[in-house]
């Protein structure tokens, strides 16, 4: 008799309905011998306050401005913005469809999470994480009044190209829809037209029911390794059941619950390889600006975490070769990654060693 399909054993491709893309899953490759690196990364000691670090309270930034003596979050205009609000000449018509350019107007900001450089989100108090969430929502209100897309993102760790260890994120707001949210807008719109329920509202309901890919959960939120994840330990944070368009729509209870689930998820991440886990994360919600008055019912707020690490604090996955030229591939299934993260301790490894 032919062997029956087992997702943990047999190669297959999985569909990402948010982006209309496929990922190749090859779990049989996990059986191959591994003789590469497994060592832990050396812990880098970061001073709590460095007067020469331009993100610290009271420090002088590249443009000569002095930061206030902030005690919670601190938002400032990026001194090296990729998008300027005004002053740049328009490209004008190109005269040929193969050489198209459009105007790009926007603004870039940097937001420090905390006055200390030697702290990260999972080690912060829930009330401090709540302050970060409130500030994110304020940013969406302020910049969203003017810009069609406000991208909040955190690049964490030198391996992700983060230039400064001080806990911070960035905000790039633009008058245009960037590629990723544009693709998700299209697919969520199509799904809603066909199924009469927002794609991610339905997805969260199914994940809460199946319980196969949940890393952490609480009354209001779910953190799952998405069925279609490409990065080994990629996760998606999404409202458990309520239909929520933007960060600005979160109730105080939902914000507290978000602080709780972020702390728990990021603690598990750090505990996986006992290192300050690098990642790029960001929020996607319904578009803003002119889109605030348009119908965005097909959208559901969510955050993505894309961590590059594969086997240890020093061995990362490279999206190269077949992945650049054909499609992403993973060995560990989303279910195996979720189980591994789920089973890790809830106490941060740095706090465990403090106690012993």
Q: Count helices and strands (H / E) in the chain.
A: 7, 12
Q: Which of 302, 327, 84 is nearest to 199 (CA)?
A: 302
| 62 vs 193 by CB, closer to ligand H2U | 62
Tokens linked to 264 = 């728990």
Least Å distance, CB 262 to ligand H2U, is 18
**Residue 62 touches ligand H2U, criterion: CB under 6 A:** yes
User: Under the criterion CB under 6 A, does residue 190 sit at the interface with ligand H2U?
Assistant: no
* Residue 110 in the binding site for ligand H2U (CB under 6 A): yes
Query: What values do phi and psi take at 153, rounded to 5?
Result: -150, 150
**Residue 53 interacting with ligand H2U (CB under 6 A):** no
CB 148 within 8 A of CB 118: no
CA distances to 77, 231, 324 from 305, in Å = 24, 9, 20
Buried b (16+ CB within 10 A) or exposed e, 83-122: beeeeeeeeeeeeeeeeeeeeebbbbbbbbbbbbbbbbbb
Q: Is residue 153 classed as helix, strand or coil in its secondary structure? A: strand
Does residue number 99 form part of the binding site for ligand H2U (CB under 6 A)? no
**β partners of residue 22:** 15
83 touches ligand H2U (CB under 6 A): no
Among 26, 72, 164, 186, binds ligand H2U (CB under 6 A): 164
Q: Determine contact, residues 220/253, Cβ cutoff 8 Å.
A: yes
Choose which of 61, 146, 311, 342 interacts with ligand H2U (CB under 6 A): 61
**In angstroms, what is the minimal distance from the CB of 280 to ligand H2U?**
9
Nearer to ligand H2U, 282 or 328 (CB): 282
**Rounded alpha-carbon distances, angstroms, from residue 160 to 68, 163, 206, 263:** 28, 9, 32, 21
Closest separation between CB of residue 167 and ligand H2U, Å?
Answer: 11
| Residue 280 found at the interface with ligand H2U (CB under 6 A) | no
Does the active-site annotation cover 114? no
Stretch that binds ligand H2U, among 155-163, 221-229, 276-284, 344-352 (CB under 6 A): 155-163
Q: Total binding residues for ligand H2U by CB under 6 A?
A: 12
Q: Name the active-site residue from 114, 166, 168, 348.
A: 168
Instruction: Give the shortest CB-83-to-ligand H2U separation in angstroms.
Output: 12
Task: State in angstroms the smallest separation of the CB of 225 from ligand H2U.
Answer: 25
Nearer to ligand H2U, 78 or 190 (CB): 78
Left if phi > 0, otherwise alpha if psi is -120 to 50, otherwise beta: which for 289? left
Does the protein bind ligand H2U through residue 153 (CB under 6 A)? no
163 binds ligand H2U (CB under 6 A): yes
Sites of contact with ligand H2U (CB under 6 A): 54, 61-62, 78-80, 110, 155, 162-164, 170
Query: Active-site residue numbers?
Result: 168
């Amino acid at each position: 008799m032919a062997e029956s399909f087992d997702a943990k054993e047999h190669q297959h491709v999985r569909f990402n309905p948010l982006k209309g893309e496929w990922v190749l899953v090859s779990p049989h490759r996990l059986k191959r011998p591994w003789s590469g690196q497994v060592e832990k990364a050396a812990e880098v000691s970061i001073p709590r306050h460095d007067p020469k670090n331009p993100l610290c309270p009271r420090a002088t930034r590249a443009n000569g401005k002095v930061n206030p003596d902030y005690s919670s979050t601190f938002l400032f205009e990026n001194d090296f913005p990729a998008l300027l609000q005004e002053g740049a000449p328009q490209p004008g018509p190109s005269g040929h469809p193969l050489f198209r350019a459009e105007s790009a107007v926007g603004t870039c900001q940097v937001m420090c999470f905390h006055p200390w450089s030697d702290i990260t989100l999972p080690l912060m108090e829930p009330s401090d994480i709540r302050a970060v969430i409130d500030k994110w929502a304020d940013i969406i209100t302020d910049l969203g009044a003017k810009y069609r897309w406000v991208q909040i993102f955190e690049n964490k760790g030198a391996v992700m190209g983060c230039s400064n260890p001080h806990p911070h994120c960035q905000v790039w707001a633009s008058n245009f829809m960037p590629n990723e949210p544009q693709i998700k807008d299209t697919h969520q719109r199509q799904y809603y037209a066909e199924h009469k329920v927002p794609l991610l509202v339905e997805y969260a309901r199914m994940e809460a029911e199946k319980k196969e890919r949940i890393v952490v959960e609480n009354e209001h939120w779910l953190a799952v390794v998405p069925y279609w994840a490409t990065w080994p330990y990629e996760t998606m944070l999404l409202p458990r059941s309520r239909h929520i368009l933007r960060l600005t729509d979160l109730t105080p209870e939902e914000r507290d619950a978000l602080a709780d689930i972020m702390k728990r998820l990021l603690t598990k991440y750090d505990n996986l390889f006992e290192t300050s886990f690098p990642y790029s994360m960001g929020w996607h919600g319904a578009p803003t600006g002119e889109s605030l008055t348009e119908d965005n019912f097909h959208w559901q707020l969510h955050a993505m975490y894309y961590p590059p690490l594969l086997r240890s604090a020093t061995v990362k996955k490279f999206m190269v070769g077949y992945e650049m030229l054909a499609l992403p591939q993973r060995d560990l299934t989303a279910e195996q990654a979720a189980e591994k993260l789920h089973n890790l301790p809830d106490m941060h490894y740095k706090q465990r060693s403090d106690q012993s």
